[in-house]
Chains A and B, each alone.
Chain A
């Protein structure tokens, strides 16, 4: 029991540290936000969206821009630890190393969710469509949770490669596809006014992805980072 509390404390401390770094430097969330807005703008011009088409594409646009922006944060989060060998320090903490995974995943999750929440009013304004639905926020929390969980795991893989940050999107996007499909379909349904009951398969899929990738982090993070 005491060791479990210790474990939770390590997760919390890593999260707090990341949050403090972000709060003082403000180099993660604002960059991600601006980047995600740029993606929205690019899509708008590249696809010549007509107003009627826009409404049905909002969900897809939201998730694509989030997925792209999130990669920036994920890469930054792990390369920060790589600088001046901070990662080695983290790995010396006398608890199971999966605590480091959950700490990093928690901060990545928080930052991407913040970006999503900031993106919602902007998209609502641009596309004249109210995006503030509680179910949509739930889907964002679940989708971002699964996505950043998998992303944190894979960023620990990619950081060890010579190609580093270039590698993460290549590993992450194809593996995250089921998460993105489920998140887009659920969001689209919610925005189209479907009752939540009709969308429960997608929500369950997201839940399952959360559980699966947390379990993968629990099992493999230690293996990935062993020297």
Chain B
């Protein structure tokens, strides 16, 4: 049996993510100023936006891998697609939970049926359904093929969802204001901006690391299944 050795680049990425995550945590806790009106709870924001970004990125990656599969019909694209969805689900969950922690003191409620919150929750359900779809399919080939179509169609609805948020009135803060109604945007000091960008970068690294690990798991699983059969 040929067991795939762990690539050294992955080990480097592991260590790098751990170190940088610790660094950005210190940055957020001690380096950034406390927000004037919201107080310390505002610091949730750095992880909240970063994990929402990570979730979004991995769902796009899943769709790109889906296209990769449909074009090449190589099963490794399906592994990538599956891995991205799985890790993206966790990132999305972190975004929702951290948002709730922030919302409880600021909005005085854990949850509001705000379009942005609702659509994030719906996005989680869309990708949960991906696993239900896969579990009902018998051969790896159908799982890969139908899974690929499903992640691509799912990603089509994401811009539609975004558009419907813009149309609705929303109480969710807009961080990157696009002129006009930037009323609810809070301005960031240079230190906040630095920590914000740092957490985006670090979360992207962690995402890459986790997806890679999950990909390797799928690869090993496949090797074992081939040995058994």
Chain A positions within 8 Å of B, measured between CB atoms, are 150, 153-154, 157-158, 160-163, 167, 170-171, 174-175, 177-178, 181-182, 185, 201-202, 205, 208-209, 212-213, 216, 220, 223-224, 226
- How many residue pairs at the A-B interface have CB separations less than 8 Å? 75
From B145, B154, B160, A212 is in contact (CB under 8 Å) with: B160
> Which of B46-54, B119-127, B206-214 touches A?
B119-127
- Tell me the dominant secondary structure on chain A's binding face: helix
From B136, B138, B164, A178 is in contact (CB under 8 Å) with: B164
CB–CB B142/A160 < 8 A: yes
CB–CB A224/B149 < 8 A: yes
Could you say which interface size class chain B belongs to? 20 to 34
Query: Nearest residue in A to B153 (C-beta to C-beta)?
Result: A216
- In the assembled complex, which residues on chain A have CB atoms less than 8 Å from the CB atom of B160? 178, 205, 208-209, 212
CB–CB B132/A153 < 8 A: no
The answer to whether residues A223 and B133 also contact, given A175-B157, A205-B160 and a CB cut-off of 8 A, is no
Give the CA-CA distance A55 to B160 in the complex, in Å: 28
The answer to whether residues A170 and B132 also contact, given A161-B137, A182-B164, A205-B163 and a CB cut-off of 8 A, is yes
Give the CA-CA distance A171 to B160 in the complex, in Å: 17
CB–CB A216/B156 < 8 A: yes
- In the assembled complex, which residues on chain A have CB atoms less than 8 Å from the CB atom of B154? 175
Chain B positions within 8 Å of A, measured between CB atoms, are 70, 115, 119, 122-123, 125-126, 129, 132-133, 136-138, 142, 145-146, 148-150, 152-154, 156-157, 160-161, 163-164, 167-168
Q: List 8 A-B contacts (CB under 8 A).
A: A157-B146, A157-B149, A157-B150, A162-B137, A181-B168, A185-B167, A216-B156, A220-B149
- In the assembled complex, which residues on chain B have CB atoms less than 8 Å from the CB atom of A158? 133
CB–CB B149/A161 < 8 A: no
- In the assembled complex, which residues on chain A have CB atoms less than 8 Å from the CB atom of B146? 157, 160, 224
- In the assembled complex, which residues on chain A have CB atoms less than 8 Å from the CB atom of B138? 162
The answer to whether residues A181 and B137 also contact, given A223-B145, A223-B149, A224-B149 and a CB cut-off of 8 A, is no
From B129, B152, B167, A174 is in contact (CB under 8 Å) with: B129
- In the assembled complex, which residues on chain B have CB atoms less than 8 Å from the CB atom of A154? 153
- In the assembled complex, which residues on chain B have CB atoms less than 8 Å from the CB atom of A226? 145
Give 13 A-B pairs besides A162-B138, A174-B122 with Cβ atoms closer than 8 angstroms: A157-B133, A158-B133, A161-B137, A170-B132, A171-B150, A177-B122, A178-B157, A205-B160, A205-B164, A205-B167, A209-B160, A223-B70, A223-B148
Name the residue among A160, A161, A162, A185 with the largest chain B CB count within 10 angstroms.
Answer: A161
For residue A98, give the distance in angstroms from its CB to the closest CB of chain B. Answer: 13
- In the assembled complex, which residues on chain B have CB atoms less than 8 Å from the CB atom of A216? 152-153, 156
From A157, A177, A205, B119 is in contact (CB under 8 Å) with: A177
Query: Nearest residue in A to B166 (C-beta to C-beta)?
Result: A201
For residue B201, give the distance in angstroms from its CB to the closest CB of chain A. Answer: 31
Closest 6 CB pairs of A and B: A161-B136, A178-B160, A163-B136, A162-B136, A174-B126, A174-B125
- In the assembled complex, which residues on chain B have CB atoms less than 8 Å from the CB atom of A185? 167
Query: Nearest residue in A to B124 (C-beta to C-beta)?
Result: A174
The answer to whether residues A171 and B149 also contact, given A181-B164, A182-B164 and a CB cut-off of 8 A, is no
Give the CA-CA distance A163 to B154 in the complex, in Å: 20
For residue A154, give the distance in angstroms from its CB to the closest CB of chain B. Answer: 8
Give the CA-CA distance A202 to B142 in the complex, in Å: 36
